[in-house]
Amino acid sequence: MSDLKSKFLEVYSVLKSELLNDPAFEFTDDSRQRVERMLDYNVPGGKLNRGLSVVDSYKLLKQGEELTAEETFLACSLGWCIKWLQAYFLVLDDIMDKSHTRRGQPCWFRLPKVGMIAVNDGILLRNHISRILKNHFKGTPYYVDLVDLFNEVEFQTAHGQMIDLITTLVGEKDLSKYSLSLHRRI
């Protein structure tokens, strides 16, 4: 495993621990274990390319200068916010599409004792992004820009999802509804 990937995974553990020990929410042991299980099942999956690309992009912006430990942590944290956002979208998309598997394993909502609680889990995932941004970027001059960026991505994705859902209603599949401009909007 590359140094960057192992550092990236270390930052996930730190962020997860911060969220699970957030003093703003008093978890019971059961709820803390459940949220931890939900995070581990949904957030760090895949090849991590979306998150790692944030760190790589920051390195490029530094034009060959070595990242400080703090810069590396912040870049990894922002990369994890991307992964959290992706997990949020995928958990809810799987429910809406009635999917069975994701990345070769059962969709989160299909697991025993999860079901439609997964809707709330998706909301938690989205709210975790706000907590991570607030905890680690609030004092930066670009904090508001980051919040706006995540809100805009969510806005655009939600509208694309709506168009996708209403053009593929069960029993109403009609290819004449599709056009190149509609495809681009989705």
Please report the pLDDT score of residue 2 as a whole number.
80
Q: How far is CA 31 from the centre of its chain?
A: 20
Structure confidence by residue, pLDDT tens digits, 17-45:
999 999 998 889 999 999 999 999 999 98
Give the pTM.
0.90
- Mean pLDDT on 109-124: 98
Please report the pLDDT score of residue 183 as a whole number.
67
Structure confidence by residue, pLDDT tens digits, 42-94:
999 889 999 999 999 999 999 989 999 999 999 999 999 999 999 999 999 99
Please report the pLDDT score of residue 136 as a whole number.
98
Return the CATH number of the domain spanning residue range 3-140: 1.10.600.10
User: CB burial class (10 A; 0-12, 13-18, 19+) of residue 119?
Assistant: middle
Q: Quick count: other Cβ atoms within 10 Å of Cβ 92? A: 21
Structure confidence by residue, pLDDT tens digits, 143-171:
999 999 999 999 999 999 998 888 876 65
pLDDT band at 186, cuts 50/70/90?
low
Collapsed DSSP state (helix, strand, coil) of residue 105: strand
- Beta pairing partners, 105: 102
Please report the pLDDT score of residue 171 as a whole number.
59
